[in-house]
Structure 1
Amino acid sequence: MKNEMLTVAEAAKRIEAGDVMAIAGDESLLAQLPRGAWIGGTTVYFVTEEGGAVVRDKLFCTTFPKASGATPRHLWVDELPRIAEGYRPGGVTMIMIPAFSVAHSQFAVDGQTWPGLFDQPLAGWITGVHLDDIGKKAPKVFDGATGKGHDEGAVLLHVALPEGVTIDLDILNIFAQGDDAKLTFTFTEGGFAAKTARVNGTEVDLASYISENGIDTRLPLVANYAGALVNVSIQSVDVAAGEVKFYAPVVAGVEYRLANALGSYAQAFAQGAGEAGSGQYSCNCILNYLYGELEGQRTGRFTGPVTFGEIAYILLNQTLVRMEITDAA
């Protein structure tokens, strides 16, 4: 795959030439692109070759040179369970969903139950806006088949690939489970917010528990799914209202632990990224960007959009999602 920061004119030329692309950038730029084999999503935060940056005048374009074809689709909320109907045999599907939308919530809570969702690599991200524009501008997704933007639903790019290629979809998670409190949630509390939790078997007011124990809310809750560590990041703690909000849903019955404290967030992320990333698709969480102080810093050789959530089959937080497509050995 090829990752580049392009002007609107440069990106449009590639689209008109038939390139298959996943594109990120400011809404005003995405709205100027012609129809073609692409999908797009809004963000102004990126990790570039020079480091993390806010970029408003260019588009970050990931091109799939090995693609033998691609079909862009926009699905409304009630159509989301049909995501896998567009899968191309042996291919990969890219997905983008607007932050704060109904689709965002539906995918996070119910996506794992949708038929065929895990039958091929599904990678993508939750689109966003500049932090100063939250509540003022809606995150958008763009469907290359029509060139139109949407603030609801999801856009998909079903990419066909030649036989023999290998698709490696993975995440970089710098967090490990701590050894202290074990947290579980009930079915009535499961979701993007919780008032209570069971901590080591005892029910507690979760907001008060976090406040009274001085828990660093930059550190996520971490669950172990058959060896894969999945984060749920804390959005806010309102002691007066007795509520904790999350950036992804907690799942009833799953055991979570608070992440181990990091000596230096930025250093831990830099060490985790190493020098990998060249020629790979990637997206990185806005929380990593903020807490890791990534502005002006590189993350190995990974470049890509900074997002309001990452998708590698399921919704993720505080991770870097990466994907590599290579020829068969």
Structure 2
Amino acid sequence: MARRSGRRARRKRRKREGVAAVQSVTLSHEPPFVCLRRWLQKRGFSSRLLLPAHFSDTGRGLLSLTALQPGELLISLPESCLLTTSTVLKSYLGQYIKRYTVQVQACFNEVSRCYEVHSLQGCHKFQQAFICYGPHDNQRLLLEYGFVAPDNPHGVVYVEEGLLQKCVCAEGRGQLEQKLLFLKQHDLLQNLTFGVDGPSWRLMTVLRLLSLRPEHYPQWKSVLQGAAVSEETEQLSVLMAAHTCQLLLQDTATILDQISRLREQCDRVLREQLEVVAQLRQEEQGILGSSLDVLRRLQAHSQAE
């Protein structure tokens, strides 16, 4: 029988092969988790497969207590445990499950009346189990799961209809109500965003339509297809986008200042929640700053021509 290598030999082998050993420390003894576990157990939930832990490479996550097989049921959360997005149960779990890697499938089972999470790829014993949240921006992650993902590639800042009305240039205010009604009828006032690469195509299309002069109204279909109607319309739409971005930056700076003052006056629990909101706003501030740089380059290029 081959002799098993000891811990020191295994560490040497990992070092020789260039594989960094990932360390994990269980967090199941922490008071928030103890309270959560008791609350869940009263409502019929129990899990012996996963534990919250801190990993040396990724931070907090879920530690598998046994080897997980593809298709295995990891979590079955009774309907009585499901809460709304404004509560803490969901926010707490969200702190521990944060990865974009697709390794699980989650849905509500109408037969068992439980929210079930199944493994897709399996997981070795004492490794971290990941869940895929899909292409969500940080605002949606915060509202639905209670956490913000650093360097989220899907990060955007939303633009509301009321702000658009404030940013319409004098040249584009003709028949503003009719233009807005047209945009609503065609469902074009939803999901208007700024990203790190500038305003979205949808936002710029709306701004072009709002910038149209009466003589260009018959060309609205061309605008919806992304065509430039005139140089004047393009310049107005970029100007409106820059103005909108600046207003959002001012609003974000004001809110961050308010959050900073509130954190000095509140208790620890509220302070932690405010820190998450501040993190979201700081990310939005960076996105808006990048968008504004893009728009200013467009304006400079247009003026140079």
TM-score by length of 2: 0.30
With a CA cutoff of 8 Å and minimum separation of 6, indicate the structure with the bigger relative contact order.
Answer: 1
Greater helix percent: which structure?
A: 2
Larger Rg: 2
Greater strand percent: which structure?
A: 1
TM-score by length of 1: 0.29
